[in-house]
Amino acid sequence: MLLKRLLTAVFLIPLVVIATLKLNSSEFLLVMMPVLVIGSWEFSGLIKTKRWITKALYALVLMAAAYFLNQEPFLLMPLLIITLLWWVINSYWIISFPRNTNFWYNYKATRLINGFFFFVPLLVALSALHQVDSALVLLLLALIWTADSGAYFVGRAIGRKKLLPNVSPGKTIEGAVGGALFSLGVMFVYVYFVFESATLEQYFLYGILSLVVTLASIIGDLFESLHKRVAGVKDSGILLPGHGGFFDRIDSLTASAPIFLLTYSFLT
């Protein structure tokens, strides 16, 4: 399993880096659209949407919403703030699981709205970050990948205390802390090389940004896990060997991308 994960990562990471650095903003948005389509298609399976025409229409609606919001800069900040509030509410569902499941899953409209906030703010935030500086997209991805890998290896090595066993039995508190520290290390390296004679304040502010992103990535991962637990499946799909579905690879990013952009906007 680990070998499959590594091989998939070795194949995908260079493609992501090249696309991020070489494409202009319009091309980047176009390339990101399949991420939304595949992710929403897999999500549709988790919420018991079986007809392919319904899945396709749902993906089309989300694509149209993402494109429209991306064309209206004045809507960006309201979208990010509403998305943040949505993730705060999700944190309660995560902590209280399996209680209160009916509030976020039993109603079809709620499930469809969840899909909107999973994918549309993700696409809009990544596009906005790319327009500011493509390096910020890579920084965000590096923080998420490092936090995920750090949590995995630290959790395997010394993990004892379960984080939220009802949601994700494999995650540990030690792993979460390890992932946060690994991510913080990456952020400090970024600050050291990007800013000439970086000040203590810059290290502090970007350190906060790193910790916020790590927390958001954990919440995104866990909320997808809730959907998988209720749906009774281990993975959202089988597209990526060793990783499961495509949604399984971007679940952390669904929360961390808009929250990264929002936090970055306030701290810098």
pLDDT of residue 6: 59
Residue in this structure with the two tokens 């997808």, named with its chain if needed = 224
Where are the chain's structural domains?
A: 2-267
Full DSSP string of 155-170 = HHHH--SBS-TTT-TT
Of all residues in the chain, the percent with pLDDT exceeding 70 is 93
Closest CA to 255 of 142, 110, 91: 91
Measuring CA to CA, how many Å separate 6 from each of 14, 100, 242?
13, 37, 8
What is the reported pLDDT for 53? Answer: 95
What single-letter amino acid sits at 169? Answer: P
Tell me the pLDDT tens digit for each residue of 200-253. Answer: 999 999 999 999 999 999 999 999 999 999 999 888 877 665 557 889 889 999
Whether the CB-CB separation of 33 and 63 falls below 8 Å is answered with: yes
- Distance CA(219)–CA(88), nearest Å, equals 9
The Cα–Cα gap between 256 and 87 comes to 10
- As a whole number of angstroms, the distance between CA 194 and CA 210 comes to 15
Cα 201 to Cα 175: distance, rounded to the nearest angstrom:
28
* Three-state DSSP state, 220: helix
pTM of the model: 0.93
d(CA 49, CA 38): 14
Structure tokens at 102: 């009916």
